[in-house]
Structure formats: structure tokens, C-alpha cells
């Protein structure tokens, strides 16, 4: 059987199966048998939905087969093949099992190419499937659904169970593979700047930026002997993923509901997270904003890089506001008071309340005088607390930020840490491979920010891995 007749046969099979499914659905709709119990209704509804899912998958498969057999699509495939750095050889058409959104696995006849210089098996690819966003033998809609559920739910096991309820049976290993590869493609497209954010203008708007770190446990195999069951002993050290958030505030100083925030994270350290900030802020044309506020806790790794970030972006000094999170400042005021062993409980309480009022009223000189007086001849931890405020004294203008209707706390990033990291990546007995944790961080960030469609565009960019 030649190539064209093979594809024609496949098309004819799909058409016959489509007609059979339509006939079965029609038979159920015209059946005189009554539905008398909830159990019967449940069974009927399950049967009809299973048939309609199969029908949708077969129609989709038919359209894919017809498209890749068309002359226009052949030209597109040849263009993609010619764009590769090494010459490609057409091995002929092969039947590829593709899993569809409804869970059905169907065979598509498609041309298989390999590099002329390699003799290794498994090094080929299917240009026609790549052009349609079909990676890992599943459609882009299914890959998106698998990745979404794997990141949104508490575990891969839960995602597997939910997919099974609608007829899509995948094992945990396959779920992980699809999810990791989906995230890797999205991150690759982001790094290559292949998908513009296409955001509305932020001219005259007020932008708030914040960053912080969470905690996840990363597992590494220990060298040496294995357990009696043949398993490796593990290192499960803590590592700090860095997370960032960029959002707009309205005239009341609240989160702008019409603008979904940008959330993203990395396990690669401070320079990497500030690199992500620079990428997003550049895409947003941040120089058009009216005010840009950076709010965070007192971590040195944050504030030693903020000035360079704004300088690299070309932001005018008059537009920039740096603020120490008010609630972290209060934690340090309370910590300082507790270190004063000579004070009574009432004196500590009174002093703490006085410092709070001074900060909120903008009386910074008086506040700093109180700090210096309380830490006179200080040593050890008391000196550390004093230096915390002296180092951040130009970031304590809470009255000014209130007058500008800007937030005085970093609650947005604290919430993001909890929703993105703590509720999925952190937990008792949860250990991650570093690359898996990094990819889950990306998926979870975009999901919680309400930007999954942007992630889908990034993951579906046509690229061919070498």
C-alpha cells in the first residue's frame, strides 16, 4: 500500500467510526425506554457523554488527517524542515498514536523525518504534528488540561483521578512527563521572547512590585549503598524558591480588578528573579507608569538589587517609591522591645505603640531617635535590630504612601507565596527534583495569576528541540 492510499484508508476509517458513533447517539435519543431512577439517569448520562467525547475525538482526528494530507500543509512542513540546521531525511509515513482531549487514542498517518547524519533510533520527529502543537503524543488541549490539573490540584494522583472520571486514563509517570515538558516549552518560549505579553497601556497607572522567598524540599540521591528494596537513600535539603508579583492599584490603593497580576518564580537565586522582573517590566513599558513602588521585607538580597533594576529600566527617580513592609517593620519593633530585659511588660507595650504611631504619622526623625535611645551601647541582637531600621530609614514613609493611595504592606506577595508554593510544593513528606519543582513553580504561578491562556500560547510556540 502506498503512502497516499494509506492516508486515504485512515480517513475512511475515521469517517466510518464517526457515522457509527452518530448512529449510537441517535439510537439512544430515540429509544422508547423510560428513565425511572437516579441510577438509570446517571448511567445514561455517563454513556451519552462517553459517546460524545469519542465523537469529538474522532472528528478532530479526521480534521488533523485531512489537514496534514493537504498540499498547503505539505508546503508548511517543508518550510519547517528546511529551517533546520541539519539536513532531514523523509523515512516515510508512520502511524502515530495520539491521545485526544476526550481521552481516546487514535492513529494518525504522518511523515517521519530524521537527520541524515544520524543512525540512532528515536532521534526523528514529525514536522506536521509539531506545527499543530502535538507534542508527547497528545493534543495541545489535552496537554494544557493535564498541566493545569497537575498544578492546580494537590498532587499528580488527584489529577490522575479527575482525568479518569472523564475517560482519560494516564499513569502518574505520563502525567509528570507531559506536565514537565509543557512547562519547559513555555519557559523556553519566554526566554526567547517569542510570545509578546500584548498588555494594555499602563500610561499614568500605578504599578507595585514585590518579591520574597518560600521553602521547598529538594531531593538528591545519596551516593553509596541502597536500601534492602533497592532504593536510593536521599538528601532532602530545603531550598528557597524566589517569587515575584507585579500588579496595578486603583485610585483607592486597592488591587486593580481589570488587570491580572504577573506572578513568576525561580529556584535559581536572586539574580534570576530580578531578571524575570526586568523581563516583565520591559514588556509592560514600565517607563510610561505614573508611579512604581517596590515593597518588600528587609532582606538585603532584595534591596541591594532594586536600584540597579530601576536604573536598567530607565525609570526616573521621581517615579520610584521604595517601601519597607509595615508589618515586617512592626515585627522588628516588637522584637527590639522584647530584648529590653530591664523594661516591664507595660513599658514594652507603651513603647511599641508609640513607635507605631510615629511611623504612621510620618514623624521619622522622632521614630529613629526612639530607636537609637532604646539601643544605646547595644550589642548582639539588639544592635542588629537597630541597624535594620537605620539601613532602611528611607523606606519608612508610610504617611507619604498613604497620601499617594499606595499599599503600605507586601500582603500580595505573602499571599502569592502561600497560594503558589505552600499549598502545592511544600508539605510533610513532599520532596521534589529541582527541575520538576522549577517547572511546577511556573505553571502554578500563571494559574494563580489568572494567566493560563498566556502560558498556553507560550507552550504552543512552534520550536523543534535539537
Q: What string of DSSP letters covers 113-131?
A: EEETT---TT--B-HHHHH
Backbone dihedral angles phi then psi of residue 324, each to the nearest 5 degrees = -80, 130
Is the pLDDT at 158 greater than 90? The verdict is yes
Is the pLDDT at 466 greater than 50? The verdict is no
Is the pLDDT at 3 greater than 80? The verdict is no
Nearest in space to 218 (alpha carbons), one of 429, 433, 430, 441: 433
Determine the Cα–Cα distance for residues 357 and 203; give it in Å rounded to an integer.
Answer: 35
What does the pLDDT read at residue 464?
52
Contacts with 466 (C-beta within 8 Å, 6 or more apart), sequence order: 85
| 110 sits in which H/E element | strand 105-115
> What ranges in 317-424 are assigned the alpha helix state H?
326-339, 345-360, 364-374, 380-391, 398-403, 411-416
Q: Which three cell numbers stand for residue 98?
A: 495520539
Average pLDDT over residues 143-166: 95
What does the pLDDT read at residue 98?
95
What does the pLDDT read at residue 73?
82
Strands of 159-261, DSSP E: 206-213, 216-226, 232-239, 242-249
Largest CA distance in the chain: 95
Sign of the four-CA dihedral 253, 254, 257, 259: positive
CA dist 372 → 235, 306, 340, 351, 375 (Å): 45, 27, 13, 13, 5
Work out the pLDDT band at 390, boundaries 50, 70, 90: very high
Angle of helix 140-152 versus helix 452-459 axis, rounded to 10: 130
More confident residue, 220 or 263: 263
Nearest in space to 441 (alpha carbons), one of 464, 466, 424: 424
What does the pLDDT read at residue 91?
87
What does the pLDDT read at residue 86?
84
Q: What is the DSSP letter of 393?
A: G
Is the pLDDT at 159 greater than 70? The verdict is yes
Work out the pLDDT band at 334, boundaries 50, 70, 90: very high
What does the pLDDT read at residue 201?
83
Work out the pLDDT band at 122, boundaries 50, 70, 90: low
pLDDT tens track for 93-104 = 999 999 999 999
Average of per-residue pLDDT values in the chain: 91
Is the pLDDT at 4 greater than 70? The verdict is no
Work out the pLDDT band at 324, boundaries 50, 70, 90: very high
What does the pLDDT read at residue 252?
85
CA dist 368 → 295, 374, 387, 391 (Å): 20, 10, 11, 11
Average pLDDT over residues 87-97: 89
Average pLDDT over residues 6-34: 90
What does the pLDDT read at residue 405?
92
Residue whose cell numbers read 507560550: 458
Q: Which three cell numbers stand for residue 157?
A: 494522583
Q: Which three cell numbers stand for residue 172?
A: 502518574
Is the pLDDT at 25 greater than 90? The verdict is yes
More confident residue, 375 or 197: 375
Determine the Cα–Cα distance for residues 136 and 176; give it in Å rounded to an integer.
Answer: 12
Determine the Cα–Cα distance for residues 345 and 48; give it in Å rounded to an integer.
Answer: 71
Average pLDDT over residues 9-22: 93
Determine the Cα–Cα distance for residues 239 and 261; give it in Å rounded to an integer.
Answer: 25
Determine the Cα–Cα distance for residues 87 and 100; give it in Å rounded to an integer.
Answer: 31
Work out the pLDDT band at 1, boundaries 50, 70, 90: very low
More confident residue, 240 or 466: 240
Average pLDDT over residues 249-256: 88
- Spell 206-225 as b/e; 16+ CB within 10 A means b: bbbbbbbbbebbbbeeeeee
Average pLDDT over residues 395-401: 95
Is the pLDDT at 264 greater than 50? The verdict is yes
pLDDT-above-70 percentage for the chain: 96
Burial class (CB in 10 A: 0-12, 13-18, 19+), 132: buried
Work out the pLDDT band at 89, boundaries 50, 70, 90: confident
Average pLDDT over residues 140-153: 96
Is the pLDDT at 5 greater than 70? The verdict is no
pLDDT tens track for 352-380 = 999 999 999 999 999 999 999 999 888 89
Amino acid at each position: 500500500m502506498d503512502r497516499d492510499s494509506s492516508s486515504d484508508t485512515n480517513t475512511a476509517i475515521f469517517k466510518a467510526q464517526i457515522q457509527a458513533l452518530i448512529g449510537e447517539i441517535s439510537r439512544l435519543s430515540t429509544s422508547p425506554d423510560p428513565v425511572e431512577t437516579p441510577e438509570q439517569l446517571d448511567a445514561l448520562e455517563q454513556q451519552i457523554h462517553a459517546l460524545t467525547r469519542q465523537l469529538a475525538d474522532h472528528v478532530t482526528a479526521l480534521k488533523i488527517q485531512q489537514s496534514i494530507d493537504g498540499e498547503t500543509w505539505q508546503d508548511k512542513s517543508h518550510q519547517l524542515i528546511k529551517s533546520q540546521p541539519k539536513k532531514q531525511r523523509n523515512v516515510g509515513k508512520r502511524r502515530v498514536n495520539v491521545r485526544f482531549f476526550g481521552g481516546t487514542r487514535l492513529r494518525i498517518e504522518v511523515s517521519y523525518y530524521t537527520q541524515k547524519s544520524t543512525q540512532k533510533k528515536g532521534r526523528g520527529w514529525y514536522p506536521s504534528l509539531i506545527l499543530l502543537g502535538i507534542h508527547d503524543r497528545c493534543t495541545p488541549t489535552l496537554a494544557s488540561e493535564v498541566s493545569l490539573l497537575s498544578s492546580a490540584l494537590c498532587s499528580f494522583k488527584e489529577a490522575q483521578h479527575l482525568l479518569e472520571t472523564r475517560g482519560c486514563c494516564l499513569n502518574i509517570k505520563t502525567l509528570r512527563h507531559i506536565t514537565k515538558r509543557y512547562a519547559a516549552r513555555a519557559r523556553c518560549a519566554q526566554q526567547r521572547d517569542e510570545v509578546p505579553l500584548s498588555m494594555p497601556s499602563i500610561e499614568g497607572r500605578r504599578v507595585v512590585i514585590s518579591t520574597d522567598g518560600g521553602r521547598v524540599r529538594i531531593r538528591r540521591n545519596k551516593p553509596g549503598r541502597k536500601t534492602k528494596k533497592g532504593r536510593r537513600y536521599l538528601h532532602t535539603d530545603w531550598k528557597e524558591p524566589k517569587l515575584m508579583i507585579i500588579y496595578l492599584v486603583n485610585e483607592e490603593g486597592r488591587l486593580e480588578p481589570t488587570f491580572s497580576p504577573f506572578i513568576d518564580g525561580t529556584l535559581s537565586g536572586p539574580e534570576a528573579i530580578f531578571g524575570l522582573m526586568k523581563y516583565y517590566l520591559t514588556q509592560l513599558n514600565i517607563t510610561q507608569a505614573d508611579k512604581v513602588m517596590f515593597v518588600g521585607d528587609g532582606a538585603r538580597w532584595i534591596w541591594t538589587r532594586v536600584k540597579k533594576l530601576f536604573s536598567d529600566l530607565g525609570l526616573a527617580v521621581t517615579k520610584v517609591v521604595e517601601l519597607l513592609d509595615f508589618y515586617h517593620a512592626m515585627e522588628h519593633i516588637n522584637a527590639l522591645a522584647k530584648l529590653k530585659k530591664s523594661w516591664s511588660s507595660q513599658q514594652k507595650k507603651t513603647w511599641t505603640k508609640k513607635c507605631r504611631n510615629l511611623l504612621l504619622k510620618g514623624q521619622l526623625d522622632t521614630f529613629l531617635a526612639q530607636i537609637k535611645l532604646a539601643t544605646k551601647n547595644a550589642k548582639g541582637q539588639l544592635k542588629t535590630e537597630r541597624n535594620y531600621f537605620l539601613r532602611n530609614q528611607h523606606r519608612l514613609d508610610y504617611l507619604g504612601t498613604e497620601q499617594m493611595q499606595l499599599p503600605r504592606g507586601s500582603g500580595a506577595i505573602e499571599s502569592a507565596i502561600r497560594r503558589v508554593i505552600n499549598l502545592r510544593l511544600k508539605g510533610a513528606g513532599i520532596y521534589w527534583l529541582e527541575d520538576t519543582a522549577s517547572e511546577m513553580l511556573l505553571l502554578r504561578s500563571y494559574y494563580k495569576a489568572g494567566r493560563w491562556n498566556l502560558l498556553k500560547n507560550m507552550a504552543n510556540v512552534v520550536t523543534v528541540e535539537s
